[in-house]
Structure 1
Amino acid sequence: MLDYLKKLIENQKNKKDKSNDKGKTIYKNLERNHSYVKNLFKDCDDINFRKFKIAGTQTSALVVFVDGLSDRDTLSNNVVRMLTTMAKEETTKKIDAKAVEDRLISVSKVSVVQDYDQAIEDLLSGEGLLFVDGVNSGFVLEARQWESRAVSEPLNEQVVRGPREGFVETLRFNTAMIRRRIKNNDLKMKHFKIGRQTKTDVAVIYMSNIAKQELIDEVKERLEQIDIDGILDSNYIEELIEERTISPFPQMLNTERPDKAVAHLLEGKVIIVTDGSPNVLVLPVTITDFFQSAEDHYNRYIVATLTRFLRLFAFFASTSLTSLYVILTTFRYEVLPERIIFSIAENRRELPFSPFVEALLLEFLIEFLREATIRIPGPFGQTIGIVGALIIGQAAIDANLVGPILVVITATSMLGSFAIPSYNMSSAVRVMRFPILIASGLYGGFGFVLMWMIILTHLCNLESFGVPFLQPLFPFKASEQRDNIYRAPRRWLRRRPIETAGNNVRRQRGVENGEKEAKEKKE
Structure 2
Amino acid sequence: MLNIIQKLIKKKRPYIMSTEKLDDSNNTKISKNFNYNHKHLKNIFENSDDICFRNFITDSNANVLTLFIEGLVNEELVNSDIIKPLQYNSTKEKNTDEASPETIKKRLFTVGTEVQTKTCFNQLIEEVLDGKTAIIIEGLPQGFIIDLTQWENRGIEEPINEQSIKGPREGFTETLRINTSQLRRRIKSHHFKIQQFRIGKQTNTNIAVAYCENIANQTIVNEVINRINKIDIDGILESNYIHELIEERTITIFPEMIDTERPDKVAGHLLEGKIAILTDGTPFAIILPVTLSEFFHTPEDYYTRYIFSFVQRTLRFASFFIATCLPSIYVLMTKFHYEMIPVDIIFSIAEAREAVPFPPLLEVLLIEVIVEFLREASLRLPGPIGQTVGIVGALVIGDAAVNAELMSPVLVIFTAFSMISSFVIPNYSMASALRLLRFPILFMTGILGGFGFMIAWFLIATHLCNISSFGVPFLQPIAPFKLSEQRDTVYRMPFRWVRKRPKAVANKNIRRQKGVEEED
TM class, shorter-chain normalised?
Answer: over 0.9
Confirm or deny that 1:313 pairs with 2:293: no
Select 2:27's aligned residue among 23, 28, 32.
Answer: 23
Please list, as runs of the form range in 1=range in 2, the aligned pairs for 1:104-503 lying within 5 A after superposition.
Answer: 104-107=108-111, 108-503=113-508
2:89 corresponds to? 86
1:517 corresponds to? none
Q: What is the percent sequence identity of the aligned residues?
A: 50
Q: CA deviation at 1:91?
A: 6.8
1:519 corresponds to? none
Q: Is the 8 A contact 1:90 1:104 kept in 2?
A: no
CA deviation vs aligned residue, 1:92-142 (integer Å, no higher than 9, x gap): 745431222111011212100000111000000000000000000000111
CA–CA distance in 2 between the matches of 1:479 and 1:183?
A: 29
SS at match of 2:105: helix
CA–CA distance in 1 between the matches of 2:91 and 2:183?
A: 44
The runs of 5 or more residues in structure 2 that have no matched partner are: 1-23, 516-520
CA–CA distance in 2 between the matches of 1:71 and 1:171?
A: 18
The runs of 5 or more residues in structure 1 that have no matched partner are: 1-19, 511-523
The code of the aligned residue for 2:401 comes to A
CA deviation vs aligned residue, 1:116-173 (integer Å, no higher than 9, x gap): 1110000000000000000000001111111111100001000000000000010000
The code of the aligned residue for 2:86 comes to L
CA–CA distance in 2 between the matches of 1:292 and 1:92?
A: 66
Q: How many residues align?
A: 490
The code of the aligned residue for 1:374 comes to L
Q: Is the 8 A contact 2:334 2:360 kept in 1?
A: yes
CA–CA distance in 2 between the matches of 1:442 and 1:482?
A: 41
1:5 corresponds to? none
2:78 corresponds to? 75
CA–CA distance in 1 between the matches of 2:207 and 2:366?
A: 44
SS at match of 1:88: helix
CA–CA distance in 2 between the matches of 1:445 and 1:338?
A: 20
Q: Is the 8 A contact 2:136 2:143 kept in 1?
A: yes
Q: Is the 8 A contact 2:65 2:135 kept in 1?
A: yes
SS at match of 1:139: strand
Q: Is the 8 A contact 1:54 1:83 kept in 2?
A: yes
SS at match of 1:152: coil
CA deviation vs aligned residue, 1:214-254 (integer Å, no higher than 9, x gap): 01100000000000010000000000000001100000011
Q: CA deviation at 1:87?
A: 2.7
Q: 1:22 to 1:49 in 2, by over 3 A?
A: closer
Q: 1:76 to 1:328 in 2, by over 3 A?
A: same
1:516 corresponds to? none
1:58 corresponds to? 61
Q: 1:153 to 1:493 in 2, by over 3 A?
A: same
Runs of 4+ in 1 over 4 A off after TM superposition: none
Q: CA deviation at 1:22?
A: 7.8
RMSD: 1.3
1:32 corresponds to? 36
CA–CA distance in 1 between the matches of 2:307 and 2:514?
A: 23
CA–CA distance in 2 between the matches of 1:215 and 1:251?
A: 14
SS at match of 2:475: coil
Q: CA deviation at 1:21?
A: 7.7
CA–CA distance in 2 between the matches of 1:373 and 1:424?
A: 18
SS at match of 1:421: coil
1:515 corresponds to? none
2:46 corresponds to? 42
TM-score, structure 2 as length reference: 0.93
Q: CA deviation at 1:350?
A: 0.8
The code of the aligned residue for 2:82 comes to V
CA deviation vs aligned residue, 1:62-91 (integer Å, no higher than 9, x gap): 101100111101111100011112232127
Q: Is the 8 A contact 2:333 2:341 kept in 1?
A: yes
SS at match of 1:34: helix
CA–CA distance in 2 between the matches of 1:100 and 1:422?
A: 53
The code of the aligned residue for 1:25 comes to K
CA–CA distance in 2 between the matches of 1:509 and 1:338?
A: 61
Q: Is the 8 A contact 2:26 2:121 kept in 1?
A: no
Please list, as runs of the form range in 1=range in 2, the aligned pairs for 1:9-20 lying within 5 A after superposition.
Answer: none
CA deviation vs aligned residue, 1:176-205 (integer Å, no higher than 9, x gap): 000000111100011110001101001000
The code of the aligned residue for 2:380 comes to R
CA–CA distance in 1 between the matches of 2:125 and 2:40?
A: 11
